[in-house]
């Protein structure tokens, strides 16, 4: 039996046993539970939100999301010429984060909340996670202006094999560099590490509409950032949202996407580009059990090249990239984002059973459960400090005592 078949088989047996013997009724409830949100109260000055669901009150304390220091530029990129044009900006004052609280607004430990106030037709959208379950809060498609609160179900898709620990599967980044005639200046700095730029495939934009694709991407980043923060790691700063005018998923193969992705980054990178370029695909790829791929652990190559006064349009800088497909569950896509980013910022290997760096998705119901172990954390770069002779990064996270 092949490795991929073994994982698939083990996943089905493990999940079947879990469902049949332990939580049949619970999982049925999770899969179908969706309730209308009522009695919404928002006080941004105090940082308080409350609402009712089926007679039960919910309370959240929040503050502005700190990882969007400036308005986020939305940039179009022509894949043939690599030329760029600014499409607009995303207001940085409508994304908030916090935690669940009691009725007296005292935060509850190991709970999380993310709110999007950008849509004037909705009081808010986003997600909350208590100590056991993640809930999405989103508009009711059939009733404009209404909100639903739904249990997020991380069991919706197959187990998968990931990714970067395997051999290079396509392209070496060679070929002539395409130099764009017009570019929009980025504003990343070493202090932002790890900073990311989203590359939006047309399939992703078409799937969620405008500005829905922006909100979908940012909520996924927010979930991933909570994972990093609860592991005492720095969350990612969003530098720009780059909309591609045609797809990088021409033949659906992993190798082809990787090759085109690293060439695009190599051709368009600037001294203040994000440390990592992350492609979001709305369409599936030609690999049933792959959700995403981090190309290599090259996130610091741009900073090192800039510091050394060397060429930045190289294959090595181009490999500071990852891609993933959109998934139905917020837990799934938040985990795959955190996992692939972990590869690009240092993690060269998978670790069985680790909630961040295992090679296949672990069905953990609550955001608070995604706590990485020592072996995973110590692979990952805390900053891009490096040895001047070897040009190797020297600053890794340490295990908490």
Percent of the chain having pLDDT more than 90? 73
Residue 60: CB atoms within 10 Å: 27
User: What average pLDDT is seen over the chain?
Assistant: 86
What pLDDT is stored for residue 317 in this prediction? 97
Which residues, including other chains, have CB under 8 Å from residue 114's CB and lie 6 or more apart?
Answer: 65, 95, 96, 97, 126, 127, 128, 219, 222, 223, 226
β-strand pairing of 237-244 with 195-200:
parallel
Per-residue pLDDT tens over the stretch 239-270:
999 999 999 988 768 888 999 999 999 999 99
What pLDDT is stored for residue 166 in this prediction? 39
pTM higher than the cut 0.75: yes
The rounded distance, in Å, linking the Cα atoms of 310 and 77 is: 25
Per-residue pLDDT tens over the stretch 297-338:
999 999 999 999 999 999 999 999 999 999 999 999 999 999
The rounded distance, in Å, linking the Cα atoms of 73 and 241 is: 6
Contact 70, 187 (CB under 8 A): yes
Residue 305: CB atoms within 10 Å: 19
51 preceded by cis ω (within 30°)?
no
The rounded distance, in Å, linking the Cα atoms of 104 and 89 is: 37
Q: Which two tokens stand for residue 209?
A: 């509409």
Render the burial of 134-171: b for 16+ CB within 10 Å, e for the rest.
Answer: bbbbbbeeeeeeebbbbbbbbbeeebbbbbbeeeebeb
Q: Where are the domains of the chain?
A: 25-70+91-151, 156-377
No. of helices (H) and no. of strands (E), the chain? 9, 15
pLDDT bin (cut points 50, 70, 90) of residue 69 is low
Q: Which two tokens stand for residue 283?
A: 């369409």
Which residues, including other chains, have CB under 8 Å from residue 166's CB and lie 6 or more apart?
Answer: none
DSSP helix, strand, coil percent of the chain (3-state; round to 5): 25, 25, 50
The rounded distance, in Å, linking the Cα atoms of 193 and 345 is: 9
Contact 230, 368 (CB under 8 A): yes
**Of 123, 105, 104, which is closest to residue 61 (Cα–Cα)?**
105
Contact 338, 224 (CB under 8 A): yes
Which CATH number applies to 156-377? 3.40.390.10
* Least confident span in 13-27, 148-162, 198-212, 352-366: 13-27
To the nearest 10°, report the CA torsion of 236, 241, 246, 248. -10
Mean pLDDT, range 166-179, rounded to an integer: 53
The listed range with the strongest mean pLDDT (65-69, 255-259, 330-334, 360-364) is 330-334
The rounded distance, in Å, linking the Cα atoms of 358 and 54 is: 37
Which residues, including other chains, have CB under 8 Å from residue 372's CB and lie 6 or more apart?
Answer: 231, 354, 355, 356, 357
Strand 72-77: give its sheet, edge to edge.
84-90, 72-77, 237-244, 195-200, 276-281, 321-325, 292-294
Residues paired with 387 in a beta bridge: none
Which residues, including other chains, have CB under 8 Å from residue 313's CB and lie 6 or more apart?
Answer: 177, 179, 266, 267, 269
What pLDDT is stored for residue 150 in this prediction? 95
**Quick one: angle between helices 3-21 and 24-32, nearest 10?**
100
The rounded distance, in Å, linking the Cα atoms of 95 and 58 is: 19
Contact 62, 96 (CB under 8 A): yes
């Amino acid at each position: 039996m092949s490795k991929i078949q073994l994982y698939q088989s083990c996943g089905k047996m493990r999940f079947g046993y879990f469902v049949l013997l332990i939580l049949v009724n619970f999982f049925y409830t999770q899969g179908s539970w969706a309730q209308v949100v009522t009695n919404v109260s928002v006080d941004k000055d105090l940082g308080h939100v409350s609402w009712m669901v089926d007679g039960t009150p919910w309370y959240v304390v929040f503050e502005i999301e700190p990882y969007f220091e400036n308005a986020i530029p939305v940039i179009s990129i022509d894949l043939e010429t690599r030329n760029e044009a600014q499409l607009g900006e995303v207001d940085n004052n409508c994304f908030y984060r916090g935690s669940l609280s009691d009725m007296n607004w005292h935060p509850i430990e190991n709970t999380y909340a993310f709110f999007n106030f950008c849509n004037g037709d909705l009081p808010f959208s986003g997600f909350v996670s208590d100590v056991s379950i993640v809930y999405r809060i989103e508009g009711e498609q059939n009733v404009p202006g209404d909100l639903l609160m739904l249990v997020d179900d991380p069991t919706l898709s197959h187990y998968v094999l990931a990714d970067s620990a395997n051999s290079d599967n396509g392209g070496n980044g060679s070929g002539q560099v395409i130099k764009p005639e017009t570019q929009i200046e980025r504003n990343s700095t070493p202090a932002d590490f790890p900073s990311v730029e989203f590359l939006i495939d047309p399939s992703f934009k078409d799937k969620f509409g405008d500005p829905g694709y922006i909100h979908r991407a940012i909520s996924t980043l927010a979930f991933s950032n909570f994972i990093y923060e609860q592991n005492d790691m720095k969350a990612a700063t969003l530098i720009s949202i780059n909309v591609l005018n045609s797809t990088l998923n021409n033949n659906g193969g992993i190798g082809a996407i990787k090759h085109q992705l690293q060439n695009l980054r190599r051709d368009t990178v600037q001294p203040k580009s994000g440390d990592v370029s992350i492609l979001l695909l709305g369409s599936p790829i030609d690999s049933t059990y792959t959700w995403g791929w981090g190309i290599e652990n090259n996130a610091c190559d741009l900073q090192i090249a800039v510091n050394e006064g060397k060429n930045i349009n190289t294959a090595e800088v181009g490999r500071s990239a990852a891609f993933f497909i959109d998934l139905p569950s917020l837990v799934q896509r938040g985990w795959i984002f955190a996992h692939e980013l972990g590869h690009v910022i240092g993690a060269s290997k998978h670790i069985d059973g680790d909630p961040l760096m295992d090679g296949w998705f672990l069905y953990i119901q609550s955001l608070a459960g995604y706590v990485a172990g020592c072996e995973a954390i110590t692979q990952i770069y805390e900053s891009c400090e490096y040895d001047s002779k070897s040009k190797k990064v020297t600053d890794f996270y340490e295990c908490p005592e």
